[in-house]
Amino acid sequence: MSRWGKGLPERLTAAGSYSARQPGMALALSAWAMKGGHIKMSDHGSILVVDDEAHVSEMLQEYFLELGYSVDVATTGDEAFRRAVSKRPDAVILDMRLPDTTGEQLLTRLRTLDGSLRIVMLSGHVDEDIARRTVAAGAVECLHKPFDFDVLQRTITQAVEAGREPHRPADAECVAR
């Protein structure tokens, strides 16, 4: 098992830490994402990864690109919100801790923007109360780091499929939360 969890393809774990595996690819993807790049490999769906830890966002970006998803990356809540407004993703992978906001606060902002947006929360700190609150506020799931990539993949696949349904603004009940 890699230090990130179970299910990560062997090609991505063979050389140890993520940055040592394919430094050129990680650097190129990061530079592209920082310039506002939106990388599309096929029509499996679009994912917005929101995490301020570069090694986590790069790993998730590469993993889902390899599976054929279009992946965009944001490192702050404000950046994530702007990206979601400019191009609605089918699903969002959202870390609980960001430099400018909490995952809970951004979840509420994103759900207010679009109540049908599918958001999967990631947390490095096991707090069942927060996990319950985020799911109650509209998150599809709250997964704990290190996470099982097979579970994350299944969760994202379902979220993307549901996220491709007709979009609707959040209802008043969701906004009030």
**How is the chain split into domains, by residue range?**
10-176
Rounded-to-integer distance, Cα 119 and Cα 139, Å: 5
Total residue length of the chain: 177
Q: Report which of residues 168 and 88 the model is more confident about.
A: 88
Rounded-to-integer distance, Cα 177 and Cα 154, Å: 28
In DSSP terms, which residues pair with 71 in a beta bridge? 39, 47
Q: How confident is the model at residue 125 (pLDDT cuts 50, 70, 90)?
A: confident
Domain 10-176 bears CATH identifier 3.40.50.2300: yes
Percentage of the residues of the chain whose pLDDT score is greater than 90? 59
Percentage of the residues of the chain whose pLDDT score is greater than 70? 68
Instruction: Look up residue 161 and give its two tokens.
Output: 């499929």
Mean pLDDT of 103-115: 95
- Helix-then-strand count for the chain, H and E: 9, 5
The number of beta carbons lying within 10 Å of the beta carbon of residue 169 is: 13
Give the model's pLDDT for residue 34: 44
The values of phi and psi at residue 151, to 5°, are -65, -45
Q: Is 151 helix (H, G, I), strand (E, B) or coil?
A: helix
- List the Cα angle 167/119/39 in 5-degree steps: 80
CA dihedral 154, 118, 84, 124 (to 10 degrees): -60
Q: Is 89 helix (H, G, I), strand (E, B) or coil?
A: coil
Whole-structure pTM value: 0.73
Mean pLDDT of the chain: 78
Mean pLDDT of 32-41: 44
Mean pLDDT of 67-84: 97
Give the model's pLDDT for residue 147: 87
Give the model's pLDDT for residue 32: 43
Please list the alpha-helical segments (H only) found in the chain: 10-13, 18-21, 23-34, 54-66, 77-86, 103-113, 128-136, 149-163, 172-176
On the question of pLDDT at 141 being above 60, the answer is yes
